[in-house]
Each structure stands twice: as C-alpha cells, then as structure tokens.
Structure 1
C-alpha cells in the first residue's frame, strides 16, 4: 500500500513539470509527511489542459453516507479496479495524478518496522496514478481521491510486496486523457516503475508519527 509520502518541490518546478494551466495556485507549502485525510495536490485534465486541484486523500464515493469511509479507501489495487463498482465508474472520466517527490514504506524486521524513503534517481517530482470523486452532503461538496497500487518491483520487493503506481511521462498523458481506456490500455499503464530509475534508503522512525514534519525526516540513518 501507500500510506505516506512527501511533496516539497517548488511550485514553479511542479507547474512546468506537469504543464499546469491554472494560475490561481500561487503558493505551495513543502510537506514531508503527507498522510491520509489531508488535502493533497493532484492534477486533472480537460479540453483546456492540465489543472491542479486539492482533493482529500481517501476516496469518498458519491453514494457514501459517512465521509469517514475515505480512510479505508486511500489505495485502490490496479489488478481489481475493473471489478470494483466504486472504482470502475471513475476509470473513464475521473483519472488524476497525485503529485509527489517521494514516498515512505515500512519493512518488517526482527526489532520492528524500519521506514524507508523512496524517490526517483534524479529526485524529480512525479505522479502517482489516481482516481477522484465528488461527495456532497447538505450543500457541501468535497473532492476526494485514492492512489492506485500494484505489485512491487525488484527494488521495492525487499521492503514491501506492494507499491504505488508511478506513471512515466508518456503514461501520464494517456492517463489524463479523457478518452476511455480499454482493459488492455489500463494493464499497460498501471505497472511497477523501472526499479533502475528509483532509489530507497532507511530513515528515522521520526516519520512514523504523521504529526511530525520537516526536511529532517529525509535524513538517512
């Protein structure tokens, strides 16, 4: 699964990287310990181009009676998206990218769980494959999202058996396109990222508490 990540690149870098068209995004606070239930930066696309928006992490389907269901839907398995009605209906028109610089995963060891920070080799920001939805209650509309996961690649396998789907730049364009994707298309897009283009290293358990913040979280042991 993917339960914690970070985003600390400058807004200008992110805007250029994802070709953002909306100018109302004027500030982005660096965040080193993003957790479920928080508003996060995502990208969606329409006929006018790519736009940033800030959904809550943890999908709350339109039919949900209680928004707390979102805490159970922070991730969606790529292998079963087409089998789950909640996710299947979002695949055609509500695909998005979750913008990140890196993510965290915990490896089971004899003395407990060791957290790792995982990022791209070139340390550039990237996009997780995501789905979003709208939930409305008494006039209040909340945008929410989920991060899609897949089987771990060779780098991640020693840490955890699952990992978030990190899209390549070519895959991002196809994922954000409003055209319908066949199951074959989905299968080709929602795969594990090239392990040779990623890096993982152990960090302090300081990251374990989601209330802890700051770039010191990224320090290696």
Structure 2
C-alpha cells in the first residue's frame, strides 16, 4: 500500500517539471516530508476549459494544472466524507470493476508528485518480543519527482447547497516487483514521464495497459533505510528522508 510519502517541492518547481499552470491559489505547503491521509496536497490534472457558467468546452484544447486535493477518495454518491479515510489507495487489479473507482478511473485521473514514499519492513523480533518494523524510503536516483497514478472525485454536501465541493483523490497501487518485494507486497503505481500525457488525457477512457508497473522505474529506485521518527505524523523535516545505519539508530534509542 501507500500510506505515507514525501513531497518537498514548491508549486513553482512542479509547474516547471510537469508543464502545468499553478491553480493552488497559494494554499500549497512549500514542503511536506511526512504526507499522510486527509492532508491537502498538490496533484496534477488535465481538463478541458469551462465557460463562465461552468460548462465544459470539449472542443477547446486541454489545460494541465496543479490542484490541491485531499488524500482519501470520497465518491460523489457518498453520504459522509469520512468514507475517504478508507479509500486512500485503489488496487489497480480491481479499479475497473468496483463502482467506487470505475468511473473516476475512466474520467478523472491525476498524477501525484512525490519525492518518494515510505514503507515498513517487518524485521526479526528481538529476544522473542514483537517483530520490529523498519522504515524505508523509496526514491528515484535523481532530483526528478516520482509521479503516482491517482484518481479523483468531487463531492458535495447535499445538506448545504452553498458548501464548496470537496476534491479528493486516491493513489493507485499494484503488486510490488523486483527488490521492493523484500520490503512490502504492494507499491504505488509509478507513471513514467513518457506516459503522463496518456494518463492525464480526459478524452481517453481506457487505460488498462498503463495499470502495470514500469520495470525501468522500479529497478532504478533507491531503497533507503530511514529513521523511525517518520512513524509519528507530527514529525516533519528533511531529516526524515536521510539514510541511516539501522544499527546506529538502535544504539541511539538504547543509550
């Protein structure tokens, strides 16, 4: 699964990297090294423009933009937005079948820029105690962002016609491959830059061939042991993604 990631780049840098216009209205955090579900984060979408009345103009060229969305998908038919707490991830294997995800996958796809994501490997139990969970940070070999595949929805509170729509998203996950299987059996679906346009294209309904891991991206990842300070969502800073010697970290905790 993907339940925590790092997103430290400013909207200005993401505008350049993803070729998008900034529509975050200055509300995006400059850096978040411990992104957790229910947070508002920057995503990338591509849509046809709308006129002053809000009507889509399908004959006009699409526009790629940065948008703030809350992590945890709330389907348009949900009665309560709390359902989003259980929909932070969407399995690629069943996304085309389940009603909660099927329409969004066909019509509302996004990219989620990230420096990398965290996962926990279950280590050996010391002296017969509980198994230790060792945090790792999966990140690319250079300064470029990883792009998680995502889907998004717009939800409105039917009891309050004046309320602003709630825009939410879910990260698509797939079975882990290669060295990642040593840490966890799931991983976010990484979209290579060559497929960004295809994934974001709002006029394309079928993306089945894109719902599989890209071996070149996965093989290039660094699997970096990091401090267990990332376990606490209140901790946030560049030190969370720094490589540590697990033995040294344990010594510090003991002494």
TM-score by length of 1: 0.93
Deviations 1:2-53 (A, max 9, x none): 0000111243321111101236655641110000011011011023421111
Count of equivalent residues: 218
Q: 2:111 aligns with which of 93, 97, 117?
A: 97
Between 4-13 and 19-28, report the one with greater CA deviation. 19-28
Between 112-121 and 26-35, report the one with greater CA deviation. 26-35
Q: Which protein is richer in strand relative to its size?
A: 1
Q: Larger radius of gyration, structure 1 or 2? A: 2
Partner Cα distance (2:145, 2:24) in 1: 21
Q: 2:225 aligns with which of 199, 202, 209?
A: 202
| Structure 1 residues 76 and 93: CA distance shift in structure 2, 3 A | same
CA RMSD of aligned residues (A): 1.5
2:73 partner SS: coil
Q: In structure 2, what is the equivalent of residue 9 of structure 1?
A: 9
| Structure 1 residues 23 and 164: CA distance shift in structure 2, 3 A | closer
Residue 30 (structure 2) pairs with residue 29 (structure 1)? yes
Residue 94 (structure 2) pairs with residue 80 (structure 1)? yes
- Retained in 2: the 8 A contact 1:121–1:198? yes
TM-score by length of 2: 0.81
- Retained in 1: the 8 A contact 2:172–2:189? yes
Partner Cα distance (2:13, 2:150) in 1: 21
Residue 180 (structure 2) pairs with residue 166 (structure 1)? no
Partner Cα distance (2:184, 2:92) in 1: 16
Q: Tell me the CA shift for residue 74 of structure 1.
A: 0.1
Partner Cα distance (1:95, 1:2) in 2: 17
Query: What are the within-5 Å matches in structure 2 for residues 1-221 of structure 1?
Result: 1-22=1-22, 25-26=25-26, 28-46=29-47, 47-111=61-125, 112-137=132-157, 138-139=160-161, 140=163, 141-182=165-206, 185-186=207-208, 188-193=209-214, 194=216, 195-221=218-244
Show structure 1 runs of 5+ residues with no match. Answer: none
